[in-house]
């Protein structure tokens, strides 16, 4: 694998999931693979899980791992082609990415959307420039429109904990105070549409996701109806796709509570984290028996390790 930016870069999703679960049982079985190989993790935005789990995944494979919070510690990056750089930016992404590619064998990049210009965000302008100019294999650590390492870990978690062959999985919108990207729900939807699950998306009117990611899903504005008989509930906030990046107030009652779990099949509750307590998810859910959010975050290591292993094998 030379690029991991979406589910479309994976030849066999089911075997990648199996690989992750195998690595969970045998974390150091391939520590020779990454000997004398360097992984560079480049962050243009904050992170806890992605940074530490991917660092650990690389280390388990014997790699040397370096992290650069380029937004804070690097030179101010210019992203526009043809820019006359007489303002605040000091280094163009062409040189920055090209130079990083000289030092490392695989690069991970996190670059959130601006949520102002939909065409720029959905063209994955920043992420694709890194891919184009660094010259080495690239793993997305969450780009403008997708978070594939998260979605792989989510699918691994569902495969690991499901109690029936084809579980019902529900993605439900949750309230928030800020405009958040559509990357996590887009990505989760596109992975679930490729998995052997019965997949439903529920959100208030106005929060429709781009249909490129939701082909094959059942979509409803009725949260109660969606949650009936659910085996897994994936909770996430996102801002509107149209009008782009907007939020509409007044949906506080979309927060998941124990009461809403009653018609479910004792559903396990997932969230990519970070989560705002008692806004997106109630204390009673997060601290209760149904929450698997910590377990899910733990699986980020094995998802990242499975992807890095496949990349190392094709270096
Ligand atoms: C980010 C998002 O929603 O994309 C990162 C999630 C992994 N979340 C926040 O900004 C709170
Ligand atoms: N879920 C996730 O990607 O978390 P971080 O933003 O902390 O990496």
Judged on CB neighbours under 10 Å (0-12, 13-18, 19+), 247 is: middle
Instruction: Give the pLDDT of residue 236.
Output: 98
* pTM for the predicted model, two decimal places: 0.98
Distance CA 208, CA 191 (A): 17
Check if 184 has its Cβ closer than 6 Å to any atom of ligand 1. yes
Judged on CB neighbours under 10 Å (0-12, 13-18, 19+), 57 is: buried
How many Cα atoms sit within 13 Å of 212 on the Cβ side?
A: 12
Closest CA to 39 of 24, 27, 56, 23: 56
| Cα 272 to middle of ligand 2, angstroms | 7
> Which ligand sits nearest to residue 52's alpha carbon?
2
Q: State which of 42, 43, 44, 47 you would mutate to test the pocket of ligand 2, scoring each by most atoms of that ligand within 8 A of its C-beta.
A: 47
Distance CA 203, CA 191 (A): 18
| Cα 84 to middle of ligand 2, angstroms | 34
Q: State which of 110, 180, 235, 293 you would mutate to test the pocket of ligand 1, scoring each by most atoms of that ligand within 8 A of its C-beta.
A: 180
Residues 6+ apart with CB under 8 A from 55: 39, 41, 65, 67
Ligand 1 atom nearest residue 176's Cα: 11
| Cα 181 to middle of ligand 1, angstroms | 7
Ligand 1 atom nearest residue 183's Cα: 4
Instruction: Give the pLDDT of residue 162.
Output: 98
| Cα 205 to middle of ligand 2, angstroms | 27
Average pLDDT over the chain reads 98
> Which ligand sits nearest to residue 112's alpha carbon?
1
Residue nearest to atom 10 of ligand 1 (CA): 180
Query: In CATH terms, are 3-144+300-312 and 148-298 the same topology?
Result: yes
Task: Give me the residue spans of the domains in the chain.
Answer: 3-144+300-312, 148-298
Sheet containing 38-43: order of strands? 3-4, 138-140, 106-110, 38-43, 64-69
Distance CA 269, CA 216 (A): 22
Residues 6+ apart with CB under 8 A from 277: 283, 286
Below-50 pLDDT ranges, the chain:
none
Instruction: Give the pLDDT of residue 288.
Output: 98
> Do the Cβ atoms of 300 and 153 come closer than 8 Å?
yes
Instruction: Give the pLDDT of residue 249.
Output: 86
Check if 273 has its Cβ closer than 6 Å to any atom of ligand 2. yes
Check if 293 has its Cβ closer than 6 Å to any atom of ligand 2. no
Tokens 């959100």 belong to residue: 203
| Cα 313 to middle of ligand 2, angstroms | 26
Question: Can you tell me whether residue 19 is helix, strand or coil?
Answer: helix
For the domain made up of 3-144+300-312, give the CATH fold. Rossmann fold (3.40.50)
Instruction: Give the pLDDT of residue 231.
Output: 99
Distance CA 192, CA 177 (A): 27
Q: Which CATH class is domain 148-298?
A: alpha beta
Check if 237 has its Cβ closer than 6 Å to any atom of ligand 2. no
Residue nearest to atom 3 of ligand 2 (CA): 50
Instruction: Give the pLDDT of residue 285.
Output: 98
């Amino acid at each position: 694998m030379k690029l991991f930016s979406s589910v479309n870069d994976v030849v066999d999703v089911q075997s990648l999931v199996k690989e992750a679960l195998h690595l969970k049982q045998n974390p150091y079985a391939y520590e020779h693979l990454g000997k004398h190989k360097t992984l560079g993790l480049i962050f243009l935005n904050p992170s806890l899980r992605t940074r530490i789990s991917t660092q650990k995944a690389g280390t388990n494979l014997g790699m040397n791992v370096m992290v650069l919070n380029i937004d804070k510690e690097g030179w101010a990056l210019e992203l526009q082609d043809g820019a006359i750089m007489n303002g605040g930016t000091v280094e163009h992404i062409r040189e920055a990415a090209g130079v990083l590619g000289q030092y490392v064998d695989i690069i991970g990049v996190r670059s959130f959307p601006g949520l102002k210009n939909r065409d720029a965000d959905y063209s994955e302008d920043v992420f694709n420039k890194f891919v184009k100019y660094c010259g080495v294999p690239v793993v997305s650590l969450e780009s403008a429109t997708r978070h594939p390492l998260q979605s792989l870990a989510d699918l691994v978690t569902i495969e690991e904990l499901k109690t029936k062959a084809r579980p019902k999985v529900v993605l439900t919108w949750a309230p928030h105070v800020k405009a958040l990207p559509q990357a996590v729900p887009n990505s989760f939807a596109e992975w679930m549409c490729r998995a052997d699950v019965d997949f439903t998306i529920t959100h208030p009117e106005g929060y429709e996701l781009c249909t490129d990611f939701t082909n094959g899903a059942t979509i409803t504005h009725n949260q109660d109806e969606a949650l009936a008989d659910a085996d897994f509930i994936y909770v996430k906030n996102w801002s509107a796709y149209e009008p782009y990046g907007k939020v509409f107030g007044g949906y506080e009652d979309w927060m998941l509570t124990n009461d809403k779990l009653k018609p479910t099949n004792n559903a396990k509750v997932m969230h990519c984290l970070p989560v705002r307590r008692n806004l997106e998810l109630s204390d009673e859910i997060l601290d209760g028996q149904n929450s698997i959010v910590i377990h899910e975050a733990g699986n980020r290591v094995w998802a990242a390790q499975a992807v890095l292993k496949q990349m190392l094998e094709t270096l």
